[in-house]
Amino acid sequence: MVKSLNQIRNDFPILDQKVNDEDLVYLDNAATTQKPRAVVEALAHYYYTDNANVHRGVHTLAERATADFEAAREKVRAFINARSTTEVLFTRGTTTSLNWIAASYGEKVIGAGDEIVISYMEHHSNLVPWQQLALRKKATLKYIKMTADGHLDMTDAAEQITDKTKIVAIAQVSNVLGVVNPIKALAKLAHEHGAIMVADGAQSLPNMPVDVQELDCDFLAFSGHKMLGPTGIGVLYGKEAILNEMPPIEFGGEMIDFVDLFQSSWKELPWKFEAGTPDISGAIGLGAAIDYLSAIGMANVQAHEQELVNYVLPKLLAIDDLTVYGPHDPAQHTGVIAFNLNGLHPHDLATGLDMEGVAVRAGHHCAQPLMKYLKVPATARASFYLYNTKADADRLVDAIVATKEFFKHGTV
């Protein structure tokens, strides 16, 4: 890395605090990441010096705000290697982005008897919009099965995707199982049958290099807050030819070209989809987050996370009565690790870990069909990121053991 791990940690003041009289170990990064000083300072700079609406003003503040806003769009384009900024739409996050695809492209192309193919491991954001679209259009929603260790079953994928399939929508990285799905191979399968490929990048963009041209996905959705950026800002990437054919979802200011009493026309891409005042500060903050990640290098971010998984996963697997979901081979597992302790509800486990200063998530992780598939009501989940250390990993293991002993004997 360009910076040492200690230097990186110093960029995140929130990590330097105690929780329940213990030094904080933050392992809820799959839900939201912490923000470095550079991102917070970018937000403050905008509000202190450049706060104005974008695109419509000719005064100096408006021009500076517009320049910074559109510069952030270019940073996103370069980060994912899109061909043009016309393919980069700012949204509220992954959920909004996926809903836009369903509400615009999906409404246009899906009819009775058509198929939409997803998997059992999808986050609700990449399940419910397609479920509801299928119900509205009398289409068929199909699920790709998983292998025993939690990978997508590509043999079943080849059977599920047929000439009736119009949309394939899959998470590039599972937010529970920690597996990386083969988006490029799925896109090839989809395109062979005349379907389009939608990739949910919420868990991949923060953690690994992603090149939309290399993947050949037709859409990619992701959120700023999971990759060091502010909450409330996200991106929808779409191939320009497809976006040009899609009708806008929202109407109002910013996205119009000309409005008459009974007809209107829309701006060109990307602005025809961005109705109203956008999240200007959010886009600028996302741009600052991309600068921070790019300076470290996404390959380095991924390598650091893999080093932590290689270190901690065998330690977790060695704990008696602890079930770890997803692959048990560290080389096949990202920094998202879901687990359960036999006889203890995940919420109680997470509460016990919090008493040790270790922040994890517990629940169904917006993946209830996956929980049903796994035959569990919920799991605990630890998720590592670029500022986590092997000492953090050890604290997690020790806290699980301490919690286990407490609930077994009533003392730590």
Count other Cβ atoms within 10 Å, centred on residue 362: 21
89 has which bridge partners?
236
Q: Is 217 a catalytic residue?
A: no
**Cβ atoms within 10 Å, residue 164:** 16
Tokens of 253: 């200011």
**Among the options 296, 366, 376, 402, which is catalytic?**
366
Amino acid at 3: K
Please provide the DSSP assignment of 186-237 as one string. Answer: HHHHHHHTT-EEEEE-TTTTTTS---HHHHT-SEEEEESGGGTS-TT-EEEE
With H, G, I as helix, E, B as strand and everything else as coil, classify residue 404: helix
Q: Give yes or no for a contact between 178 and 338, defined as CB atoms under 8 angstroms apart.
A: yes
Rounded Cα gap, residues 235 and 97, in angstroms? 7
Q: Which are the contacts of 197, defined by CB distance < 8 A and separation ≥ 6?
A: 168, 169, 170, 183, 186, 187, 190, 191, 216, 217, 218, 219
User: In angstroms, what CA-CA distances link 155 with 4, 179, 278?
Assistant: 43, 17, 43
State the catalytic residues: 366
